[in-house]
Each structure stands twice: as C-alpha cells, then as structure tokens.
Structure 1
Amino acid sequence: MESESQPESNVIKLWNPRAAANLAILFSPIFSAWLMAKNWQELGKPDEAKKSMTWVKIWIGFLPIYLLVVVLAPGIPMPFVYLVLLVAWYYKLGKKQITYVEETGIQYEKKEWGKPVLIALAVSVVWFMAAGVVGGAAGLANPPKEMMEAAALPVVNQLAMQTGMNATCSSVVITGESSKGVYNAVATMSDGSTLKIQLVLKGQQLLVNIL
C-alpha cells in the first residue's frame, strides 16, 4: 500500500537582515528598506512592512534633492545630512529586523541575492549617469572662477592690443560678483600694471569690459 505524501510545511524565506542593512552603505537605504519591507511581509508583520516602505519613499524623495544641492550649493554639508539620515534609518528600522530575527530564533531559508543586486547595480548606473548630466549642466551654467579667469586672459590681451598697450596680460583674478553673472576682476599686466575689468557671463559666452 502506497503511503500518501505529506504537504511540505510553509518555509519562511528571507534575505539575511544583517546583510540587507549593511548593503545600504553600497546601494543606498532605498535598496535595504525595500528588502526589509519584503522580509517583514514574509514574517507576517504588515505594519512593519509599511514603515519600511515609508522610508523607501522618504529616500526616493531625498536623493534627488541631495544631488541638486550638492551640485548647485556645494557649501551646504549634504553628505553629513545623508549620514545622519542613514544612521537614523538603521537604528530605527534596520537594526529592529536584525534583532527580531535573532532574538526569536526564526529559522528561515535564505533568498538568493543575484536578482536584487543586479537591479541595484543597474539603478546605481542610472543614478551616476544622472548625476553626471546634472553636474555637467551645472558646470556650464555656473563655471568655476578659475575657468572664467583663464578664458578672460586672451580677451584682455586682445583688448590691450586694440587700445595700443605694449604690455600683455599675465593673470586675471576675480575679486567679487557684483550681480548675477557679473564679476569684478583685476588683470595684472606684464609691466606690473593692473587693470580693473568686468566679466559678464551670458549663457556660455564670456564678455570682458575694461573699466
């Protein structure tokens, strides 16, 4: 007489909580919070899953702001703000799942990392490409002072020749910004004399006026 096969008991399948939390450093907390939300669902904790998904939304909203501020206002310590949020997320939610699984002694089958890691890598590539585009656009709109000073030097030489000066320009130093896109500068000539000049940035064109 054949024995009837017994149905297999439901096995909890999780991504290792500690590894998921640590990967926040590499792939951002969006990745880790999403994995932990899925883990909480598997553990039968829908409220905790919702909390993790709330952090996913918080990070999705924060990272574009982080990128824009870092590029357009580098004086603001956004990396420090990012670090504070990362630590807050870890101690508020990330560590909670690690502790819960370890203290309850839950036996679980480890989920494979291949698919989520590949997705995270693809998203990271897109993120860095977007950062490059934003950074490049910001660089064109607001070129560094050193770049404007270098671009102004041959223009000053041309103006000096047109006005009959025998000296050539050896350096240009921006001393301040009088208004948006208008900079005061001093040109030092080869004979030791100096000229007060004005640099006007119009789009990608730099105009030089001798004052």
Structure 2
Amino acid sequence: MAPDSAGVIIGEDGLARPAWAASDPLMRNYYDQEWGLPVTDEQGLYERICLEGFQAGLSWATILRKRPAFRAAFAAFDPEAVALFGSTDVERLMQDPGIIRNRLKILATIRNAQATLELRNDGGLVDFVWGFAPDSTPRPRVAAEIPTQSRESVALSKALRKRGFSFVGPTTMFALMEAVGMVDTHLLGSHRRGSSGIWSG
C-alpha cells in the first residue's frame, strides 16, 4: 500500500481509501460496503445511534468487532423489544463479555429505545434525524480537513437530548451523520467519494 498526494492509501486492489480503512480487513469491508451509505429505517438508525454512543472513548474497530454480540444482546436493536428491558436485563448485559459493559451506556440504549418509540407520535426517528441534514458537505482532501462536529450536529444533539436520548453529543452525532450518509466526508481521492447518492463528487 502506498499513500498518494490526495491523502489516501492505494490498496493492493488499486482502490484508494483513507488510512483508517486501508489495512484492517474488517474496517476495509465496512468502509467499502456500509460507511457513508444512507440509513433510512428506524431500527437501523436506532442501532447506529446506540453504537456510536458505545464507541465514545473507544475505537470504531472495537465496536465493529463486537457488533454481532451487541445485536444478540440487544434484540437486534429492535426498539420495541429494548424499550421493555428492565433491571434484570441490565444486570444480564453487565455480565456479557461480548459487549462494552458500561452501565450508563446500557441504560442509555434502553432510554434511547423508549425515546425512539415516543418519536413515532411526531413523525418518527428517521424524519427527525434526517431533518438536520445540511445544505452542503465537506470536501476534504486529507484527514486533517475533516471536521469533528458541525452546526447541524450540535443542533441534532440538542434536539435528541430534549427528546430523552443520551450519549448523543455533537461529535458523536457528527460521526453518525458521516456513517449514515447525511454528510460525505470521504476524502476527495477516495474510491467511495460520492457513493451515498446524496452528494455529488
């Protein structure tokens, strides 16, 4: 693999990716097949909000490796099921070595499920979150030009907190916006730039 002048790394397959997606096969597959593509279903968006919350202070690779265990532990992130979790479930999850055993984040995942159900009375989680999509997207040439939050992610964070969500800070919400295609922070030289279908090149 060799870096080029655009800040990307050219892989053995000839495709250009950022450094974080260039070496680990799991991260590379996630980058190539999932990251930055629009997520417009309630369950998928709820899952990503929760996983971004669990990621706070950790590497995304750690979360990605544990995602199958997270899905098993949290009823495939079905908000209707998770909203019913009680203290017994919390203790069960605190003993589950496959996930991040952080009590506050576990409790937040349950509260976020309940808040997701409540949002159904007001248009639903998907329309609520996507209502904060910006009018423009960054055009980073190198990783240092990628912002860590935006005016929209700050507003989304505040709005979700008002609705009862936790672990949804502005930086976490910007990461969510990147992951679900609301902004395109693929480097300009990446083979994935523009792949969301929302933003052109």
- Shorter-chain TM range is under 0.3
Q: Which has the higher contact order (CA 8 A, sep 6+)?
A: 2
Larger radius of gyration: 1
Q: Which structure shows the higher strand fraction?
A: 1
The structure with more helix, counted as a fraction of residues:
1
TM-score by length of 2: 0.24
TM-score (structure 1 length as normaliser): 0.24
